[in-house]
Amino acid sequence: MTPSRIAPLMLCAFAASPALADVTVDNCGTPLSFAETPERLVVHDMNMTEMAFALGLQDRIVGLTGITGWYKTSPTFDAERGDIPELAPKYPTVENLLTVEPDLFFAGWYYGMKPGGDVTPDTLAPFGIQTMVLTESCVHLHDDRPGASMDLLFDDVLRLGKVMDVTETAEALVAGWKKQLAAIESKTDDVAAPRVFLLDGPADAPFTAGKFAIPDAMITAAGGANVTGDMETSWGRSSWEAVAAANPEFLILLDYQTGNGAEDTFQFLKDHPVMSTTDAVRNEAWIGLRYEELTPGPANIAAIEKIARAMHPGLF
């Protein structure tokens, strides 16, 4: 074989090998290191999937989990997903993941994994599967976390971009989002912040966002004040009496796009003995937002503008 034949073959062999990464990122306070750029990615939940889509990683996503078991997808999501298979409609098993031989699982605590459950970073490691954990969820294992900020979204996109070797794309996305948020905040900086309450559906006790959940930061960015922002949790339960005593002026209602969604939730509040007396309910001041808009993901940015426009209509 001549040298002119050897060189192209060597180049082809090199191109087919996984790219050398030598990358380390923070993972809930623990270093997560990669000697090679992951080539086979599984992502849990719509919000994290939309992060991966925003980075253009579809060609390396070999499976999704936790999508159709809870949510209706949008035409845009379906188009971006293409023929990527869903391995489990809700929480996956180890066996679900092993069917596609991933080298990286992007999930979170109570976003595809449960402490002490069957699928955790420790149970996946023996199979050669690394786990990148959604930062918002780290508080479920380490309660010494800072309160929520939009860095929960920005840092996760930058981490995923670094791990998947698309850093420039990630940095451009984050820079654009920060510019959008600065434009919103410039309009709301000098106005009074309405008291805001977020509700995840009718229940005996309200399930809502505390100080570690990204909606707390989103409400602040939109020019509001979260009435449950003193709860030492990410997502958790309060009491109707406590919420009514705070007298929210504006409501954010999670819309699962089933039945009448947020409209049904608002009717529940109108009929509620204590919530019906609050300013927000009496003035019908509310907005319905989808799950992926209220969990860390690219949809947060447009959602913040929606909230700001609804709360401060005279400013936009």
Residue with tokens 């306070």: 29
What is residue 165's three-state secondary structure?
coil
Distance in Å from the first CA to the final CA of the chain: 71
* Cα of 163 vs its chain's centroid, Å: 18
| Token digits of residue 304 | 């913040």
Count of CB atoms situated within 10 Å of the CB of 112 = 27
Q: Which domains does the chain have, with CATH numbers?
A: 20-174 (3.40.50.1980), 191-308 (3.40.50.1980)
pTM of the model: 0.90
| Token digits of residue 255 | 């819309």
Residues 102 and 79: their CA atoms lie apart, in Å, by 23
pLDDT tens for the chain, 316 residues long, are 333 333 333 333 334 444 556 899 999 999 999 999 999 999 999 999 999 999 999 999 999 999 999 888 889 999 999 999 999 999 999 999 999 999 999 999 999 999 999 999 999 999 999 999 999 999 998 888 889 999 999 999 999 999 999 999 999 999 999 999 999 999 999 999 999 999 998 899 999 999 999 999 999 999 999 999 999 999 999 999 999 999 999 999 998 755 568 999 999 999 999 999 999 999 999 999 999 999 999 999 999 999 999 999 988 8
